Chain A
Amino acid sequence: MMSNITLGRYIPNNTFFHRLDPRCKLLLLFIFMITIFINLGMIGYIVLGLVVLLCFILSKISILTIFKSLKPMWFMMIFIFVINLFVVKTGTPWHLGKITIYSNAIFATLKIVYRLFLLISTSTIFTATTKPLDITIAIEDLFAFLKPIMNVHILSMMISIALRFIPTILEETNRIMKAQASRGVDFVHGKLKEKAKAITSLIIPLFVSAFARSDELANAMEARSYNPYAQRTRYRKLHWQFKDSLILILSIVLLAGFITLAITGFAKTWNTSIFEWIKGWFK
């Protein structure tokens, strides 16, 4: 059960990406997300794909991990494709028996799937190369400008505690499942309704214990004179290096380039006529 979770798991290593400042990596992720949702056109997407490929090589994450993390996408892909079949009615119509499929439906689907693929891969690279604790510190630092409006420290403390308790709660889940199974609850067989009923016998004790746990945790924190609104120092320090600035500037330049291309319409010519473009290859 625990081994199935690959998305968002830290993989200890000491690569170039592991050594980058988490703040830099978080900013890169933001920049990348923006870039993905710009209408880039064929060349843009290829360049972006190459960048992601380079990141993968640099972070030394095994191909298997990536494919595992892409598992939930297959369902999405089929779902999007089916929707597109009914919505998109442009491009060259292809007749398959009684059904008519338009070429743009396929291309639109491919485009969305490709974007999702890039998005998931980059997030995987980010979480696989950054310790959860470092992510929370990076969030706290980057959102420090929000301090007058809200207490950013509370947010990062909540995230880090949530991350800290994931394995503990999973362990607890396993224990409750075993305890309930030994009392005759069947989690595996039966109809959906019966399964749902069985799950309640897991969820209710789990919630009860989680609340008791959080109560005790709050006591322990308070007893160690924790006060989120008071002045406190921070043990973990992040070190911004020259390479972080360099990488960040490079990616900002890349983003600016893509935006310019999108605005000038250069990308559009490539984009609207992907089909023509491919057809051109065969002429």
Chain B
Amino acid sequence: MDAIKFENVTFGYHNQTPIIENLNLEIKKGKYTVLLGHNGSGKSTIAKLAIGLLECQDGNIFIDGIELNEKNLNQIRSKVAIVFQNPDNQFIGSTVRDDMAFGLENKCVDPNLMDAMIEEYAKKVNMHEFLDTEPTNLSGGQKQRVALAGVLAMQPDILILDEATSMLDPIGKKEIFDVIQELKVKRSEMTILSITHHIEEALFADEIIILNNGKVVKVGLPNDLLYDQNLLNQNALEAPFIIQLEEKLKQANIPFEPTLDVKELVKQL
């Protein structure tokens, strides 16, 4: 069974020409999938459709085999969590603690259990020292980690990251990326869907889906897709640094085993 499944989904804002037309998409359960696409390829729309913030005009969306409709919206939302792009606009509480509690309050968690849960999940994203800090005194990366902790505390089956790192500086990006890597290792039963145009995130994906103009162009493994220069160029994507480096090495006739791990490559050289 797929964690998220789109069947012939069509969507357009205000009856304009559809952004997404007859889209078929399958996100495998328990995997770390990266949805790649340049700006305006309909990536974020897919995220909003999957969590029921937007309603598709045609087709069906299934979450864990349940068809998404108005009646089971609450059920779906308890399964799917999402971290959005802008760190400021998803910080609801007046302190880190309150923001993390917000989701728990909505899930009707017993307030006496909340403190322990907040501590636990704040530790996971390394924010446990900032529990009583106000959002103004946090960096973008820190706020985004709080957002991540907030949705993780709700214990979702599916985690969607909608350009969660695109507004962050390199350090903030790395912090978030490290947390996601760790999640991937520790909680293998959770499906993670990362929607991004930041190709480096795709290096360690279990599966990559390349999207262009609201259509799935190609589905495959990082090893197959990321070396395909033509495919990336056609979809306005740039190969990750390590692959660009390997191309240069090839041209310079330096022998090496192709790898996606930077450390591994450094060791070889």
Question: Hey, which bits of chain A sit against chain B, CB under 8 A?
Answer: 131-133, 160-161, 163-164, 167-168, 171, 213, 216-217, 219-227, 230-237
Besides A217-B89, A223-B51, 11 new A-B residue pairs in contact (Cβ under 8 A), listed by A number? A164-B93, A168-B135, A216-B84, A219-B84, A222-B77, A224-B150, A227-B74, A232-B106, A233-B104, A233-B108, A233-B110
How far apart are the CA atoms of A168 and B87 in the complex, in Å? 11
Find chain A residues with CB under 8 A from B107 CB.
Answer: 225
Closest to B99 in A: A164
Q: Count the B residues whose beta carbon is within 8 Å of the partner chain — how many?
A: 38
Contact A233 B105, CB 8 Å, known A168-B88, A216-B86, A223-B53:
yes
Contact A133 B98 (CB under 8 A): yes
Tell whether B4 is near chain A: CB-to-CB under 8 Å: no
Contact A213 B106 (CB under 8 A): no
Find chain B residues with CB under 8 A from A222 CB.
Answer: 53, 77
Closest to A215 in B: B89
Find chain A residues with CB under 8 A from B48 CB.
Answer: 219
How far apart are the CA atoms of A132 and B136 in the complex, in Å? 15
Tell whether B96 is near chain A: CB-to-CB under 8 Å: no
Tell whether B103 is near chain A: CB-to-CB under 8 Å: yes
Contact A223 B77, CB 8 Å, known A216-B86, A237-B111:
yes
Tell whether B151 is near chain A: CB-to-CB under 8 Å: yes
Q: Chain A's nearest CB lies how many Å from the CB of B20? A: 18
Contact A235 B104 (CB under 8 A): yes
Tell whether B223 is near chain A: CB-to-CB under 8 Å: no
Partner of A234, one of B78, B82, B105: B105
How far apart are the CA atoms of A235 and B95 in the complex, in Å? 12
Contact A225 B89, CB 8 Å, known A133-B98, A168-B136:
no
Contact B92 A161 (CB under 8 A): yes
Find chain B residues with CB under 8 A from A226 CB.
Answer: 102, 106
Q: Chain B's interface: helix, strand, loop or mixed, by majority?
A: helix
Contact A232 B92 (CB under 8 A): no
How far apart are the CA atoms of A216 and B154 in the complex, in Å? 20
Closest to A214 in B: B89
Contact A225 B94, CB 8 Å, known A164-B135, A167-B136, A168-B136:
no
Find chain B residues with CB under 8 A from A213 CB.
Answer: 86, 88-89
List, sorted by A's number, 7 A–B pairs whose CB atoms are closer than 8 Å. A133-B95, A160-B94, A164-B91, A167-B134, A168-B136, A233-B110, A234-B105
Partner of B106, one of A171, A216, A227, A236: A227
Contact B106 A225 (CB under 8 A): yes
Contact A235 B90 (CB under 8 A): no
Contact A133 B108 (CB under 8 A): no
Tell whether B101 is near chain A: CB-to-CB under 8 Å: yes
Find chain B residues with CB under 8 A from A163 CB.
Answer: 94
Contact A235 B94 (CB under 8 A): no
Tell whether B109 is near chain A: CB-to-CB under 8 Å: yes
Partner of A231, one of B88, B108, B154: B108
Find chain B residues with CB under 8 A from A235 CB.
Answer: 97-98, 101, 104-105, 111, 114
How far apart are the CA atoms of A89 and B114 in the complex, in Å? 65
Contact B53 A225 (CB under 8 A): no
Contact A224 B135 (CB under 8 A): no
How far apart are the CA atoms of A225 and B78 in the complex, in Å? 7
Closest to B88 in A: A168
How far apart are the CA atoms of A163 and B78 in the complex, in Å? 28
Find chain B residues with CB under 8 A from A231 CB.
Answer: 108
Find chain A residues with CB under 8 A from B102 CB.
Answer: 221, 224, 226
Tell whether B210 is near chain A: CB-to-CB under 8 Å: no
User: Which residues of B (31-88) have their CB < 8 Å from a CB of A?
Assistant: 48, 51, 53, 74, 77-78, 81-82, 84, 86, 88
